[in-house]
Structure 1
Amino acid sequence: MKIADVDRSPTAAMELYQLRTFLTIAEEGNLTRAAEKLFTSQPAVSAQVKQLEEELGVKLFERSARGMSLTREGLLLQEKARRIVDAARDFKHSAEHLRDNVSGELVIGLNNRPEVLKIVDVLGALTFAHPELSYELVNGSSGTILEGIDEGAIAIGFFEGVCEFPRIEWHALEPIELCIAAPAAWARELASPDWKLLETKPWIFVSQACSYFRAIESICTDQGLKLQQRFRVDECLTVLNLVAEGLGLTLAAVNHIDSPEYRGRIVALPHFRTTVNLCVGYLRENADRPAIAAAREVILGLWDKPEEPQALPPLSRDIRSARPKGRSHR
């Protein structure tokens, strides 16, 4: 039985997952965004909706170039579906408190490389201490991880930057330094911090749900820039592959571009440095659930952090921009 998620077996539990997909599309109005929140592919989400519509015998959505909107029937069924999904989750949460041991399935959200998140060490320690606990690992941007935690789809997850969800309790683990990453072939041309020159270059943007997207937005606001967005990519490592091939600039973690696979292929420009905190979070109301408490203890222990949750947004204000050539610094 999963913690903070519904089962996906082919009988009634599969119907619960279909309902969750239905609710997510209704909220987002967009298949791509719904797939990101559900940590699955767009074709899978589309197939689940089609199957649910066939099982119910009614059309739930109107599809258009602007996205997905609920039909009259979909609107009438939306609240009923929400009550069913919430009741199923509450039922499983109640059952967890009746168990004496730490067991079930823990859904963990990952927003970064396994070595950055020390996930092998985390899982090794948990497996040794709690052999009856199993795991599902889901990957996504920081914003998507936070939304998953807030909605109950993720039990505990890693994220970077700002947490604006009041129900989420979080702990700062370590600062992550960000920089502007450029193809090594452009290093000489971009050696001086000339923001106007950067406007002429193509940029690779990450998902709006990623903390790095906010950092790029802050650059544009601070410098009065209009950057050329040539690519929008959800997965950060794909972004770096595009940079390494000479296709554009992006904002990236310094520890990513310093990895052996990008050494000599990507350079950090002198224009900009900032830090965001790597954090771990979970719903405050679930803080005492055995599996979440066990995972929290292991994670904070690996980073040698205290148990007390943070009270302020985990956002570094230490943003350092080099003075640009030919433009006043603001």
Structure 2
Amino acid sequence: MELRQLKYFLAVAEESNFTRAAERVHISQPGISAQIRQLEHDLGATLIDRTGRGAGLTAVGEVTLGHARAVLDAVEALRQAVDEMNGLVRGRLVVGMVTACTVTPLFEALSSFHLAYPGVEISLVEDDSARLVERVREGAVDLALIGAAGRAPADLDGRQVISEAIVAAVPPGHPLAAHAADGVTLAELSAHPLICLPPGTGIRAVLDQVSAARGLAPTVALQAAAPAAVMQLAERGLGVAVLSASMLARRPGLVAVPLNDADTAAVLALVSAPTKSPALRELLRHCRESFAAPTGRGEAGGGPALDRGAAIG
């Protein structure tokens, strides 16, 4: 008995006709008839009733049909499982990360995945969040760590990593530093020149969104792609930095001032397209485990630990 004979038998049973079945499986009509007869010989029973105009099943053929389908389904499941494993052995993944964002759990996930599947090529690219989202949508990037305002894009599969408020950051002698305990409004913030991350980043999206909602148009005097550069400029008195709270941890040269009416959170999220390769599914599993691991108190209030200068960009 051969698998192709079961495939031919299934075609005849479903078509109830040798000629149509032969066309379906791309074999001649005499060829499929000979293979069915060989299958009947091997089983020692007649499977096809050839006495009528069509090709109906005998009682034994009806019983055989269910088993034949089960065998062919099992073979297909085996083939898919092997294909998936081959994908993990020979696959390629492109991982995107917002510029200047150092998130230790992501690096740990990439490391553990590489150890488990060394044959998968991993490429890491940096960009701003808006462009990374578009590259995920286009299929150019498989998985990206992005910053966003409020939540990750609804059309992508997303897992929120951090959610925190934006804050103002000023040197100790700045007038706003006196409000470190009670905070200031966005209108009060807008009276000063600001230093922020550029458009396309999550922090900037939050600032622009909450300001527009209150009819404000703050002046962004300076902008830099790296949070560390934004902080250094603010430390030198060139403006008020707008960052997330976790970015300012262990930064003695700046005072964090809450923004009382900035009610949209800055989030850091992993996003991927709905259709996932076996390798991407495994990488996502490693990411879930890495971000859930107790790596210490996160600088964003109980989230995963971030390196100094990490950005929700």
Equivalent residue number for residue 125 of structure 1: 112
Q: 2:203 aligns with which of 185, 208, 212?
A: 212
Secondary structure of the 1:284 match is coil
Distance of 1:210 and 1:194 partners within structure 2: 22
Are 1:243 and 2:220 an aligned pair? no
TM-score, structure 1 normalization: 0.54
Which residue of 169, 172, 176 maps to 2:164? 176
1:270 aligns with 2:258: yes
Measure, in 2, the Cα distance between the counterparts of 1:218 and 1:300.
30
How far the C-alpha of 1:103 sits from its partner, in A, is 3.1
Aligned to 2:272: 282
The residue identity in structure 2 corresponding to 1:256 is M
- Partners in 1 of 2:185 and 2:101 — Cα distance? 35
Task: Tell me if the contact between 2:132 and 2:141 (Cα under 8 Å) persists in the aligned partners.
Answer: yes
Deviation at 1:292, TM superposition (A): 0.8
Aligned-pair CA distance for 1:250: 2.9
TM-score, normalised via structure 2 length: 0.57
Could you report, residue by residue, the CA deviation over 1:200-234 in whole angstroms, capped at 9, with x for unpaired residues?
32112322211212211233234433312212333
Could you tell which deviates more after superposition, 189-198 or 106-115? 189-198
CA shift in 2, pair 1:199/1:275, >3 Å: closer
| CA-CA distance at 1:244 after TM superposition | 2.4
Q: Whose strand fraction is larger, Structure 1's or Structure 2's?
A: 1
In structure 2, the CA distance between the partners of 1:228 and 1:212, relative to structure 1 (3 Å rule), is same
1:298–1:176 distance in 2 versus 1, CA, 3 Å: farther
Q: Distance between the aligned counterparts of 1:135 and 1:171, measured in 2?
A: 20
1:172 deviation in Å?
Answer: 2.0
**Paired residue secondary structure (1:131):** coil
Q: What SS does the aligned partner of 2:166 have?
A: strand
Q: Deviations over 1:250-285 (max 9, x none)?
A: 321211111x4xx22122113336533321111112
Q: 1:181 to 1:219 in 2, by over 3 A?
A: farther
The offset of 1:125, in angstroms, is 0.7
Calculate the aligned-residue CA RMSD, in Å. 2.8
SS in 2 for 1:256: helix
**Amino acid aligned to 1:216:** L
Work out the CA distance in 1 between the residues paired with 2:228 and 2:92: 28
Q: Secondary structure at the match of 2:108?
A: helix
Within the candidate set 121, 126, 145, 1:134 is matched to 121
Distance 1:188 1:173 in 2: 30
1:160 has 2:151 as partner = no
Question: What is the CA–CA distance in structure 2 between the aligned matches of 1:127 and 1:187, rounded to whole Å?
Answer: 50
Which residue matches 1:143?
A: 130
Shift of 1:296: 0.3
* Count of aligned positions: 204
Distance (whole Å) between structure 1 residues aligned to residue 210 and residue 241 of structure 2:
11
Q: Given that residues 181 and 252 in structure 1 are in contact (C-alpha distance below 8 angstroms), is that contact kept between their aligned partners in structure 2?
A: yes
User: 2: CA distance between counterparts of 1:177 and 1:189?
Assistant: 18
Q: How does 1:218-237 map to 2 (within 5 A)?
A: 218-237=209-228
Contact 1:180-1:252 within 8 A present in 2 as well? yes
- 1:301 corresponds to which of 283, 289, 298: 289
Match of 2:272, SS? strand
Contact 2:152 2:267 in 1 (8 A): no
| Aligned equivalents of 2:176, 2:162: Cα separation in 1 | 32
What amino acid does structure 1 have at the position aligned with 2:208?
E
Q: Identical aligned pairs, as a percentage?
A: 18
Give 1:119 deviation, angstroms.
Answer: 2.6
Whose RCO is larger (CA < 8 A, sep 6+)?
2
Q: Give 1:108 deviation, angstroms.
A: 0.9
- 8 Å contact 2:195–2:239 — kept in the other structure? yes
Deviations 1:143-193 (A, max 9, x none): 122111112221111113243362x22222332342122233315655262
SS at match of 1:163: coil
Change (3 A) 1:137 1:130: same
Structure with higher Rg: it is 2
Q: Which residue matches 1:116?
A: 103
**Equivalent-residue separation in structure 2 for 1:195 and 1:101 (angstroms):** 49
Instruction: Give secondary structure in 2 for the equivalent of 1:102.
Output: helix
How far did 1:235 drift?
Answer: 3.5
Q: Which 4+ runs in 1 deviate beyond 6 A?
A: none
1:186 and 1:98 map into 2 onto residues whose CA distance is 59
For residues 174 and 193 of structure 1, the distance between their equivalents in structure 2, rounded to whole angstroms, comes to 23
